[in-house]
Chain A
Amino acid sequence: MLKDITFGQYYPGDSILHRADARIKIIILIEYMIIALAARSLLAVAVSVAFTVFLVVASKIKPGLLLKSVKPLIFVLIFTAAINLFFTAGEGDPVVHWNFINIYREGIVNALLMAVRLLSLVLGSSVLLSFTTTPLDLTDAIESLLSPLKKLKVPVHEFAMMMSIALKFIPTLIEETNKIISAQKARCADFDSGNIFRRVKALIPVLIPLFVSAVKRAEELADAMECRCYHGGEGRTRLKELKSRPGDYVFLLCATAITAGVILLNSITTQEVFDFCKTLFS
């Protein structure tokens, strides 16, 4: 199950998204989240889905990888959709009525909307940021965007460095967790039976060695970093300076326009769209 976690992993490639400035990508991601969460009317959702599809295609990431990134979320997806389906009370008669279960038209719409939102949030943020931006670029970008806070004595560089190391160690720690699970299974640990509480408890013998080894790794890494003359952000130069090209600003402008468009489109109901189409063709 842990093999499927793709969060925070970079996939080398050469696409517009790979080349775009990481700072711009972060700003666009914020806008993208607004788009995905704010879209309510049919037209707005259509626009946000189209934007997601554009990002996915532009990233040139293999569809298989994308599916993998969505797979761990299937449960959450079904769960939220189901809650919305069953617990949204609507006006008018329920579409399905069986014993105490009532499903309204609004419930179906909400469930679909929720599923689309979650899906596009995961896909969009993966292709926009984690899949196409190296952790170092990402942290450089965060450091650069937050650098005004340095004046307030916020340790921005340290924060960024911590984040980049955390991202770098995700695959290593996942591998380690799998090894520990295998080792504990070899000693007859049982992770797959019993109720949820028993299963959570069964994970304790996995988590403790994992934490111990993570602390040991941290100590060694600190030594290795000191050996390489690391002394915080002061006086540090960069191999790759973040550079934004005109294309990045065009991208940003388009994304901002789409955000504004989605918010505007929200106020137009589906009925109005139909009416508009009718007048157009009559």
Chain B
Amino acid sequence: MAFIELRDLWFSYSPESEPVIKNINLDIEKGSYTAILGHNGCGKSTLAKLACGIIPPGKGKVFVDGIDTADESRAFDVRKKCGMVFQNPDNQLVASIVEEDVAFAPENLGLPRKEIRKRVDEALATVDMSAYAKHATNKLSGGQKQRVAIAGMLAMGPECIVFDEATAMLDPAGRKEIAEAMKRLNSEIGMTVITITHYMSEAVEAGRVIVMNDGEIAADGTPEEIFSQVEKLRSISLAVPQVTELMYELERDGYGFPRGILHAMDAADAIESAVREARR
């Protein structure tokens, strides 16, 4: 059984409007790192909210660790298992002092004070914000605020965190901070990470990429598989990572390169060896 299971899922915000999610079947495995790509309005944020049980499914079923999210009486259990980090850092911090904000979720769970303290300290250490525990949240940079938001989720003790365009409002430095934090969460503590983004450079880091278009899954596979289909991505108005685009253009001009090169250093190696080959 997969950690999150979506079964024949349909969803629309009002009965008369066009459905935003059309018949999606999807399994997210425990401990995996998944990126969901798609242009604005393709339903990727809705899909994330459905997967966390913030909104109940219209038609079909959503299971989080075997729990049906439509079951109101267990909404609490679903939320505890699956956290979510939102786009705007200002709109998800509840308290004005860092550690008080991180403590919000464990407080809601009614944990004893010692346990709250422990979780807050651990969560802040994980996102490398321990030094800021007593600082005011509104004086932090965007990336730091978003790290506090992540710590706030970690303190709840979830098994999965969904990042709903968590880097969209950050500057490049902040974006890098958060991308690294996501990667670390997945590789070091085995957190199931789902990131919704339109930055290709972030999707490249994931283990699995799902491309959404018009409420449906347009492609699903490893980053190498997805980004080698340059024409297909362009047809649904998505850009490809710059490195992949370069390799694609070179290949079209008749240079033979292996497909699925995603990182700049790999590309440099491939080009170097090709140049050596040609000299010989």
Interface residues of A (CB under 8 A from B): 10, 12, 134-136, 164-165, 167-168, 171-172, 217, 220-221, 223-231, 235-241
Would you call A136 and B86 a contact (CB within 8 A)? no
- The interface on chain B, measured as residues whose beta carbon lies within 8 A of the other chain's beta carbons, has a size of 42
Q: Does B83 contact A (CB under 8 A)?
A: yes
Would you call A225 and B94 a contact (CB within 8 A)? yes
Which residues does chain A contribute within 8 Å of B109, judged by CB atoms? 229
Given that A168-B94, A220-B91, A220-B92 are known contacts, is A230 also in contact with B104, CB under 8 Å in the complex? yes
12 A-B pairs whose Cβ atoms sit less than 8 Å apart in the complex: A10-B136, A12-B97, A168-B93, A220-B86, A221-B94, A224-B84, A227-B84, A229-B79, A229-B108, A239-B99, A240-B100, A241-B113
Which residues does chain A contribute within 8 Å of B99, judged by CB atoms? 239
Give Cα distance in the complex from A164 to B93, angstroms: 12
Which residues does chain B contribute within 8 Å of A237, judged by CB atoms? 106-107, 110-113, 116
Q: Does B76 contact A (CB under 8 A)?
A: yes
Which residues does chain A contribute within 8 Å of B105, judged by CB atoms? 228-229
Would you call B94 and A165 a contact (CB within 8 A)? yes
Which residues does chain B contribute within 8 Å of A225, judged by CB atoms? 94, 104
Which residues does chain A contribute within 8 Å of B113, judged by CB atoms? 237-239, 241
Interface residues of B (CB under 8 A from A): 49, 52, 54, 76, 79-80, 83-84, 86, 88, 90-97, 99-100, 103-113, 116-117, 120, 134-138, 152-153, 156
Query: Nearest Cβ distance between residue B24 and chain A, in whole angstroms?
Result: 21
Which residues does chain A contribute within 8 Å of B94, judged by CB atoms? 164-165, 168, 221, 224-225, 228
Which residues does chain A contribute within 8 Å of B88, judged by CB atoms? 217, 220
Interface centre among A165, A168, A171, A240 (most CB of B within 10 A): A168
Q: Which of A12, A168, A231, A239 is within 8 Å of B134, CB to CB?
A: A12
Would you call A226 and B54 a contact (CB within 8 A)? yes
Query: Nearest Cβ distance between residue B125 and chain A, in whole angstroms?
Result: 16
Would you call B54 and A227 a contact (CB within 8 A)? yes
Query: Nearest Cβ distance between residue A237 and chain B, in whole angstroms?
Result: 5
Closest partner residue, chain B, to A11 (CB atom): B136
Q: Which of B83, B108, B156 is within 8 Å of A236, CB to CB?
A: B108
Give Cα distance in the complex from A46 to B107, angstroms: 46
